[in-house]
Each structure stands twice: as C-alpha cells, then as structure tokens.
Amino acid sequence: MTTPVAPFNGQAIGLAHYASRAALERVLARSGTTFEQSVALRAASGDGGTVERALVVGRLTAGLKIDESAARRTVGELTARGLLEEPTPERVSLTDAGRELFSSIRAAGDEIASRVYAGIPAEDLAVVARVLALVTERADAELAGE
C-alpha cells in the first residue's frame, strides 16, 4: 500500500523521522537503551572509543536540541550502566560492554535503513540529503535567532 504524496513540509519530515525512529526505538528497548543514549554511544565511538566528554555533550545538545544538563545526565546514565568509563574527568571511553552494545545497535539500525531505503534511486537519496541539510541549517539559524 502506498501513501498519497503530501506536500514537502515540516510535517512530512517529521512523519518520516518518527516512523524511522520508532523502528529503531524497538531495537533500543530490548537493551533498555534510550534514543539519547544511543546517540551518545555513537559520539563516544569515534577516535577509537575514547573522546572528550565535551564532544559527546556537544553532539547531544546540537543534534537533539536538548540542554546541556540533559546531555550530561545521559552521559552519567551510560557511565552508571557500565557502558562508558571516565579515564579522566574530561574524557569518556566506551567499555567493552558499551562497544558491544553500540555495535549491535548500529548493525540493527543499518538493517532497518537498508529495508527502508531499498529501491530508492541513489540520485533521489542525494537530493533528499541536500534538501534536508539545507532545512537543518536554516532551522538551526532560526534557533540561534539569526
């Protein structure tokens, strides 16, 4: 069953986002992981799995539009669960358990994406990526009061 094509607007973007996110949330629920925690694990996975705490907090605040205290709380939750450790006060590292969990989340997310995007021509996906990047840039400017 195909859905009639609605005009491209914020509602269309939101519907696509929430449908995709709901599919991922089912995967996350199995491990007791929140969406915010999964984003933090992704941020921490860079640079060999040890990064500046500020980088993780910054990715959460900028990407999810949450405040710094909520981002720091998310990092604290992952530390309490033993998924992150703090080799220094300024840095966080994925533990073996954190690395394993992130790997399984990423694999499941990749599988979902491959099914969701299957059959969509690469050139269409490239156009959507450019348009969404521009929409994000403009919305970020609105938030910044520009």
Domain boundaries, the chain: 24-145
pLDDT at 19: 95
pTM of the model: 0.89
pLDDT at 1: 61
pLDDT at 73: 98
| DSSP for 73-133, written as a single string | HHHHHHHHTTSEEEEETTEEEE-HHHHHHHHHHHHHHHHHHHHHSTT--HHHHHHHHHHHH
Which candidate, 49, 48, 117, places its Cα nearest to that of 78? 49
Mean pLDDT by 10 residues, the chain (146 residues): 76 92 96 97 92 96 96 98 96 97 96 96 96 93 86
Residue 42 tokens, joined: 């992704």
- 41 and 98 in contact (C-beta within 8 Å)? yes
pLDDT at 88: 94
In CATH, what class is 24-145?
mainly alpha
Residue 101 tokens, joined: 């969990």
The end-to-end CA distance of the chain, in Å, is 42
